[in-house]
Structure 1
Amino acid sequence: MTSAEAVPFRFFSLQVVRTRRLGPSLVRITFAGPELRDFRSDGLDQSLSLFLPHPGQDEPMVPIELGEDWWRGWMELPEDVRAVMRSYTLRELRRDADGATTEIDIDFVLHGVEPDAAVPAGPASRWAAQASAGDRVRLIGPSAADNRSIRFRPPEDTDLVLIWADETAVPAASAILESLPPGTRAVAWLEAHHAEEAQKLSVAADADLVWLVSDDGAPAAIDAVRAAQLPDAERPYVWIAGESGRMKELRRHFVNERGVDRRRVTFVGYWRQGLTEEQLREQGE
């Protein structure tokens, strides 16, 4: 592979530093490693591809020696050998005095890890639930601060920021909200499975945060947004992220029912009901 300066994305070999449970179905994992010094991102909703080992493996199996042809080599490996690949968004990164990245945080939603779960946990949830310091992973991340995996880009004339995020998008939405400067008007709908996972965010903006907790019988996404009384705004900007089907429904609402210019609506499908990560990538999403 070429140098980190010559390509916007590259592989990073990292280790788990620590883990912290944020609730029954949410865990924050901190990663570090010498290669992270070349990690560059100024984005608030930075997407990453994370590669996890199977049980019994010391590290994830990814043929990075093939360079740009790594995908073909990875797909040719047996399913129980090749690394588990999942997409996540960065919750936070920390830098040293020289500006080099030292640690990154990624929040994992744990589905099916409970003993009585109706649907058993997938490989990523199982890994995250048992992760401990020293566990090794790889990720594809940016070596350019401004890159194509950053989607939150409000126009300079924005006078109201509207955000909707399901559980998978809450880390990115939280980072966005915490970055908004004082005086910025914002409304955000954030999903959580359990009340304990409705996190307290450090928000300086004039923001109205609505947590939709499924355990408490929260309304469906479209119903909650449709019922909201929004502040008057001439140039709103909308960022919605999560399951692809609901993103499209919400986008239609903002454009067709709220009259928001479709060019000022960013919608990001992080996953699609019934499809694996590999199937999504094969479809070019």
Structure 2
Amino acid sequence: MSTLTVTSVAPLTPRMTRVTFTGDGLADVRTWPDQQLKLLFPKPGCSASVSDSPDVGVWYQAYLAVPEAERPWMRSFTVRSLAGGVLTVDFVLHGDHGPASAWAARAQPGDVIGRFGPSPDYARPVGTADLLVFAGDETALPAIASLLELLPSGQRFAAIIEVADPLEEQDVPGVRWVHRSAGEDLVSAVRAVEVPASTWVWLGGEASAVRTLRRHFVALGVPKEEIEFAGYWRRSLTQDDAPTADDLAEAQERIAALGE
């Protein structure tokens, strides 16, 4: 586990802010599509440090060994960019309804948090089908934006992102924006996409919507191995809460996909 130091904080939209970090080891991390990492946010009066071990098993055991009152809050994030030893992460702001959002709303240069990852063990290639479908809510926006930047010229794709309202749109070419303020929803918008025989799908966002859309594409004949999916958050639950039966089933399928 390593620490990160904030170097800049800049609002992107009313509900999203961009934070850049420097930290030991970042210059040595190679990049790949949809990089995931764990960020650790210190509780008041406590440290974000846990262990210097690079091994996930050893590190996680050390994390759990920290007394709960002192143990940092841990949340998963997508790398927006990583270049020249500078890490960029975009945070969705939703008030003080979570430690990551509360921290990001008050972040200032010099603040320190912890990180584990990104780990190349979880690197997954972008598909090469005739049509690539990317769908998610604002929590998936950083991942989708970074994935679209890597597509070869001429690649056909459909990118659908659900956000609160038009003020939350960002300059991401080719995206169809879905606005909750207008009564629109991600699942309905994605179901309207015509899917050819050769299709690869990437899904991220609220867990139940992701599961619904995955079932939709499987029913259309898209092979399961051609669908990347991740439930980033759960309604009324946090990452600190115990996994549901659906969460466990999703985790098993993702583990199986990594082994394929």
Give the residue type in structure 1 aligned to 2:14. P
Task: Tell me which of 62, 70, 77 is aligned to 2:50.
Answer: 62
**Is the counterpart of residue 267 in structure 1 residue 229 in structure 2?**
yes
What is the TM-score of this pair, normalised by structure 2?
Answer: 0.85
Instruction: State how far apart, in whole Å, the 2-side matches of 1:264 and 1:37 are.
Output: 32
Find the counterpart in structure 2 of residue 150 from structure 1: 123
Task: Decide whether the 8 Å contact of 2:161 with 2:186 is kept in 1.
Answer: no
- Structure 1: segments with no counterpart, 5+ residues: 1-10, 96-101, 114-119
1:189-230, Cα deviation, whole Å (9 max, x unpaired): 1122242221012x4xxx4x211122x3242222112234x3
User: For the aligned residues, what is the CA RMSD?
Assistant: 2.4
Task: Tell me which of 47, 65, 70 is aligned to 1:81.
Answer: 70
Task: Decide whether the 8 Å contact of 2:203 with 2:229 is kept in 1.
Answer: yes
Structure 1 residues 66 and 176: CA distance shift in structure 2, 3 A: closer
Structure 1 residues 247 and 66: CA distance shift in structure 2, 3 A: closer
Task: Tell me which of 106, 122, 133 is aligned to 2:98.
Answer: 122
Task: Tell me which of 6, 15, 18 is aligned to 2:8.
Answer: 18
Deviation at 1:152, TM superposition (A): 4.8
Find the counterpart in structure 1 of residue 114 from structure 2: 138
Question: What SS does the corresponding residue of 1:176 show, helix, strand or coil?
Answer: helix
Question: What SS does the corresponding residue of 2:121 show, helix, strand or coil?
Answer: coil
Instruction: State how far apart, in whole Å, the 2-side matches of 1:247 and 1:62 are.
Output: 32
Task: Tell me which of 24, 27, 33 is aligned to 2:23.
Answer: 33
Instruction: State how far apart, in whole Å, the 2-side matches of 1:63 and 1:179 are.
Output: 34
Deviation at 1:12, TM superposition (A): 2.5
Deviation at 1:65, TM superposition (A): 6.3
- Structure 2: segments with no counterpart, 5+ residues: 252-260
Task: Tell me which of 210, 216, 229 is aligned to 1:253.
Answer: 216
Deviation at 1:150, TM superposition (A): 2.8
Structure 1 residues 225 and 142: CA distance shift in structure 2, 3 A: closer
Deviation at 1:34, TM superposition (A): 3.4
**Is the counterpart of residue 183 in structure 1 residue 159 in structure 2?**
no
Question: What SS does the corresponding residue of 2:97 show, helix, strand or coil?
Answer: coil
Q: Could you tell me the percent identity over the aligned residues? A: 37
Structure 1 residues 103 and 280: CA distance shift in structure 2, 3 A: farther
Deviation at 1:66, TM superposition (A): 10
Structure 1 residues 269 and 18: CA distance shift in structure 2, 3 A: same
1:48-82, Cα deviation, whole Å (9 max, x unpaired): 0111112344x414244696433334324333311
Find the counterpart in structure 2 of residue 223 from structure 1: 188
Question: What SS does the corresponding residue of 2:87 show, helix, strand or coil?
Answer: strand
Question: What SS does the corresponding residue of 1:224 show, helix, strand or coil?
Answer: helix
Task: Tell me which of 97, 106, 110 is aligned to 2:89.
Answer: 106
What is the TM-score of this pair, normalised by structure 1?
Answer: 0.78
1:124-164, Cα deviation, whole Å (9 max, x unpaired): 11111101111111111136xxx23234531x4x1111110
Deviation at 1:280, TM superposition (A): 5.6
Question: What SS does the corresponding residue of 1:142 show, helix, strand or coil?
Answer: coil
Instruction: State how far apart, in whole Å, the 2-side matches of 1:27 and 1:227 are.
Output: 31
Instruction: State how far apart, in whole Å, the 2-side matches of 1:38 and 1:89 are.
Output: 18
Deviation at 1:38, TM superposition (A): 2.3
Deviation at 1:252, TM superposition (A): 1.2
Instruction: State how far apart, in whole Å, the 2-side matches of 1:105 and 1:159 are.
Output: 31
Deviation at 1:281, TM superposition (A): 7.2
Instruction: State how far apart, in whole Å, the 1-side matches of 2:19 and 2:185 are.
Output: 29
Task: Decide whether the 8 Å contact of 1:40 with 1:142 is kept in 2.
Answer: no
When the two structures are aligned, how many residues end up with a matched partner?
A: 246
Structure 1 residues 162 and 280: CA distance shift in structure 2, 3 A: farther
Task: Decide whether the 8 Å contact of 1:251 with 1:265 is kept in 2.
Answer: yes
Structure 1 residues 153 and 164: CA distance shift in structure 2, 3 A: same
